[in-house]
Amino acid sequence: MTAALLVLGGFLAASPAAKSARQRCPVEKIDFTQETGCQNDGYVRFCAPDGNKQVRAAIKRIAPKAEKRSERKCGETESLFFLPVPSEPDLGSCVERGGAMTSRAWNQVCALARLPQIDGFRQVRFE
């Protein structure tokens, strides 16, 4: 039984989820905290380089619902992306309306922020 636990522990330690949990969230690239992550109008935004298929694939893998806003640019060589953060608690991104992000939503933002080609995240407030 001890050997089985050691083998299981080795698999868990090597799993992507375990690896991701150990990685630091680059909070210096995010202009909000997990506690304030849902104080927005349903989205957070970030910029990513145009034409980089590897970055685009990584964004799609990490956040399949991220929306590229082709009508808007961040700079001459970057596209604007919106990541939906629905505020209704039953939709899984927010603990409560206008409150904290769930761990799952925060981990998604952190995973995107770990991509070196993404400089930062801002909350979206339509006025």
Q: Provide the terminal-to-terminal Cα distance of the chain, rounded to the nearest Å.
A: 61
SS3 label, residue 75: strand
Domains of the chain: 25-123 (3.30.70.1150)
Within 13 Å of residue 4, how many CA atoms lie on the same side as its CB?
1
Which residues does residue 61 pair with via DSSP β-bridges, in sequence order? none
Q: How would you write the pLDDT of the chain (127 residues) with one tens digit per residue?
A: 454 444 444 444 444 444 545 689 999 999 999 999 999 888 999 999 988 999 999 999 999 999 998 777 788 889 999 999 988 777 889 998 889 999 999 999 999 999 999 988 888 876 5
